[in-house]
Amino acid sequence: MAWPGIPWMLERPISLSGNVTDAVSGDPLAATITPLGITFPAGDTNPSNARFGRYHAFLPAGSYDIEFSAEGYLPQTHMVSISDTTPVLLDIALVPEVQCRGDLNGDISITIVDPITVINAIGQIGGPEDINGDGVVDLLDMLALLPGWGSCLEQSE
């Protein structure tokens, strides 16, 4: 009994794949994909790396928490169920880490207090309220606070 050629059998099964992009720009990211709670042999802790934004991970069937990380981005963990028969497609958009620049009152977050401090310093030459560093405090500095709005703790890793 002769089997016809089945090219796909020559390839390693793809369990999990997708694209990793920058959530802001949409650019592809070189990310590290790490299933959590799984022990790999030394030197092989990362089963997959995204190159040009595309990643493939090969995992035994099961459910995993998988961490996607990249330098300069907040890591994300996604629960993924892998089966032997159905490849899983998972696209990831990583959010860039934001600097806590502009936390003028030192509460480790950007809240309404910080732009108010900027407004009170409008016209000032330089100083910490010159968020965008152009030498003068104006409304542009208040706008420069917006990308970092919220807690700064997530970007400390």
Distances (CA, A) of 26 to 46, 53, 90: 24, 10, 15
What count of residues does the chain have?
A: 157
- Minimum Å gap between C-beta 92 and Ca ion is 30
Of 97 and 129, which CB lies nearer to Ca ion in the complex structure? 129
Of 76 and 109, which CB lies nearer to Ca ion in the complex structure? 109
Can you tell me which of 132, 149, 151, 155 binds Ca ion, judged by CB under 5 A? 132
What's the sign of the alpha-carbon dihedral 97, 25, 78, 9?
A: negative
Cα 103 to Cα 128: distance, rounded to the nearest angstrom: 9
Question: Which residue spans within the chain are E strands per DSSP?
Answer: 16-22, 32-36, 48-49, 54-57, 62-69, 76-82, 88-89, 92-94, 109-110, 150-151
129 near Ca ion (CB under 5 A): no
Q: Are 157 and 144 in contact (CB under 8 A)?
A: no
134 near Ca ion (CB under 5 A): yes
Cα 144 to Cα 126: distance, rounded to the nearest angstrom: 15
The span of 1-9, 10-18, 87-95, 125-133 binding Ca ion (CB under 5 A) equals 125-133
Tell which positions 85-104 bind Ca ion, by CB under 5 A: 103
Of 97 and 130, which CB lies nearer to Ca ion in the complex structure? 130
Of 10 and 112, which CB lies nearer to Ca ion in the complex structure? 112
| Total residues binding Ca ion (CB under 5 A) | 8
105 near Ca ion (CB under 5 A): yes
- Minimum Å gap between C-beta 107 and Ca ion is 4
- List of residues 6+ apart from 141 with CB closer than 8 A: 102, 118, 129, 130, 131, 132
Can you tell me which of 107, 127, 143, 153 binds Ca ion, judged by CB under 5 A? 107
Of 76 and 151, which CB lies nearer to Ca ion in the complex structure? 151
Site for Ca ion, rule CB under 5 A: 103, 105, 107, 114, 130, 132, 134, 141
